[in-house]
Amino acid sequence: MALTEHHLAIGLFGAVFLVLLSGFPVAFALGGTALAFAALGSALDLFDAAFLEALPNRLYGIMTNETLMAVPLFVFMGVVLERARIAEDLLDTMAESFGRLRGGLGVSVTLVGMLMAASTGIVGATVVTMGLLSLPTMLKRGYNPALACGTICASGTLGQIIPPSIVLVLLGDVISSAYQQAQMEMGIFAPKTVSVGDLFAGALLPGLALVGAYLLFLVAVAWLKPEWMPPHFGDSPAGHRLGRIGRGLLPPLLLIVLVLGSILGGLATPTEAAAVGAVGALVLALMRRRLDLACLRDVMQSTTRVSSMVFMILIGAALFSLVFRGFYGDEMVVEWLGDLPGGPLGAMTVVMALMFALGFVLDFIEITFVVVPIVGPVLLTLGLDPVWLGVMIALNLQTSFLTPPFGFSLFYLRGVAPSQVRTGHIYLGVTPFIVIQLLMLALLALWPDLATWLPRQIYGD
C-alpha cells in the first residue's frame, strides 16, 4: 500500500501524542514534530512547503489578537489574589459564616472554589491552594477524608466553567475562528460572529447549576451521614463575625461582579474587563498591606512564565495546524466525521468521547489549540450552535480532569495532601461529583437552551 498524505497526517497526530506523553515541553513538541513531518513529507513529495509560508501571518495574527491580550491580565489578577492570600481570607470568612452548621465547612470550600474560579480561572492553582488551606482543617474537624478530598477536587475544577475563565477566553477565540471558517465553507460570506462574551454568558447558568448541584449533594450527605461532616463550634462574637465577613468577602466579590458584569453588560470587552480585574486585584492587595516589592516581583515573574507558556503553545499549535492541513488532514476529518452514523449527534458524541480521553493526558490549552481547530469547523458545519458547543467542551474537559485514574485535579491534590490521605480516598471522594458532572453534561446535551438562552437575552440573535 502506497504512503499517502492521510497516512502522514495520522502519523503526525500520533507522534505528537507520544512526544507529549514523554514529558517534552508542549510548545516544542507541537512545533518540532510538525517540522519533522513537514521535512519528511517534502522528501517524499507529499507536502508542499508553501504551507509554511503562512506561518508569519499566523504569528502576526496572534500578536495583534486583542482577545488574547486578556490572558496575561487574567493570569496577573489570579496570581495577585493568590499571593495576597485573598483565597485564605475567603476560606476563613466562609468557614466563619457556615462552619457552625453540619456540613458547613464543605459548603464553604465549594463556595470559595467557585469564587476563586471566577477570579483566577486556573484549575491547578485553585486545587493546590484549596488543598493546602482547607484539607488539613477539614480532617482536623472530623470530616470523612474521601468526602473532603472529593469536595476540594470538584470545587477546584470549577475554573473550567465559571466565567471569567482563561479556559473560556482561549476556547472562545478558537470557537470564533472555527465558526467563521465553517460559515465560509457553507457559502456564507457575511458570517455571524461569536465572542468570548457570548461564551461567558453561555457558561454562567450551567456553571451556577453545577455549583448548586454540588451544594445539594453536600447538604444531603450532611443530613444522611452527619458523622461525616460535623459542625465546627467557634466562640467569636457575632459582631466580630460580621466584620470579618464584610472585610473578607465583599471586596473580592465586588471585583468579580465588576469584571464579569462589565463583560455581560456590554460595557467592556474581555480584555478591558481583565485590565480592570488586574488593577482591582492590586488595589485589594495594597489595602490589605500584602504587596511589597518582593511580592510584586514574584507576581510579575509568575505571570510572565504562565503567559509565555500559553503563547508558545499557541505558536506551536499554529505550526502543527499548518502542517496537518498540508497533509489534507482537515479533509480526512471531515470525511471521517461525515461518515459516522447518527449525523451531527453521532459526530458530537465521538468527538466528546475523544476529548474526554485526551483530557487524561493533555492539558486544556493543548486540547483547545490542537484538537478544537480540527474538529470545530466540521461540527459547526453540521449545524451545531457555537456557544453550546464551547460550553459542552469546557464541561466535558472539567469532567475529564476530575476522573480517575489520570485526572489532573487528582494529581494536584495528591501532591499537597497530608500523609494520612490515601489515593483511594481521593478516587472514592470524586466519584459522586463525577456522576453530578455527567448528569449536567446530559442535561446540557438534552437542553441546549441552558447555554444559549442567556447570550440571546443579552446580545440578541
Q: Which three cell numbers stand for residue 342?
A: 447518527
CA distance 187 to 200: 28
- Which of 123, 190, 174 shows the shortest CA–CA distance to 152? 123
The pLDDT value given to residue 99: 62
CA distance 109 to 132: 12
Q: Tens digit of pLDDT for each residue in 110-125? A: 888 787 766 655 666 6
The pLDDT value given to residue 59: 84
Handedness of CA 143, 145, 146, 152 (dihedral sign): positive
The pLDDT value given to residue 209: 93
Q: Which three cell numbers stand for residue 191?
A: 458570517
Assess contact for 54 and 322: CB atoms under 8 A. Answer: yes
Q: What is the 3-state secondary structure (H, E, C) of 309-345?
A: HHHHHHHHHHHHHHHHHHCCHHHHHHHHHHCCCCHHH
Q: 255-280 burial string, b = 16+ CB within 10 Å, else e?
A: bbebbbebbbeeebbbbbbbbbbbeb
Q: Where are the domains of the chain?
A: 66-301+360-373+383-459
Max CA distance (Å), the chain: 80
Q: How far is CA 36 from CA 28, 31, 59, 225, in A?
A: 12, 9, 20, 58
The pLDDT value given to residue 285: 86
84 by DSSP, 3-state: which? coil
Supply the DSSP string of 157-180, one letter for each residue: GGGGTSSS-HHHHHHHHHHHHHHH
14 by DSSP, 3-state: which? helix
- Which of 381, 374, 372, 373 shows the shortest CA–CA distance to 343? 381
Assess contact for 183 and 385: CB atoms under 8 A. Answer: no
The pLDDT value given to residue 293: 86
From first to last of its 461 residues, the chain has per-residue pLDDT tens of 578 888 888 888 888 878 877 777 777 888 889 899 999 988 888 888 888 888 888 888 878 888 788 888 888 887 887 777 776 777 777 766 666 677 788 888 888 878 776 665 566 667 777 787 778 878 888 888 999 899 988 888 887 888 877 788 888 888 988 888 888 877 776 677 788 888 988 999 999 999 999 999 999 998 898 888 887 655 555 555 566 666 667 777 788 788 888 888 778 888 888 888 889 888 888 887 777 888 889 889 988 888 888 788 888 888 888 888 888 887 888 788 777 777 788 888 888 888 888 877 677 777 888 888 888 888 888 888 999 999 999 999 888 888 887 777 887 788 778 878 888 888 899 999 999 999 999 999 999 999 999 988 887 66
CA distance 101 to 184: 56
Q: Please work out, in degrees rounded to the nearest 5, the angle formed at the alpha carbon of residue 381 by the alpha carbons of 375 and 384.
A: 85
- Which of 366, 372, 274 shows the shortest CA–CA distance to 314? 366
Q: Which residues contact 157 (CB under 8 A, 6 or more apart)?
A: 123, 126, 127, 398, 401, 402, 409
Rg, the chain, Cα only? 23
Q: Is 244 exposed, middle or buried (0-12, 13-18, 19+ CB in 10 A)?
A: middle
Q: How far apart are the first and last CA of the chain?
A: 50
The pLDDT value given to residue 71: 81
Assess contact for 374 and 336: CB atoms under 8 A. Answer: no
Q: Tens digit of pLDDT for each residue in 371-400? A: 888 888 888 888 889 999 999 999 998 888
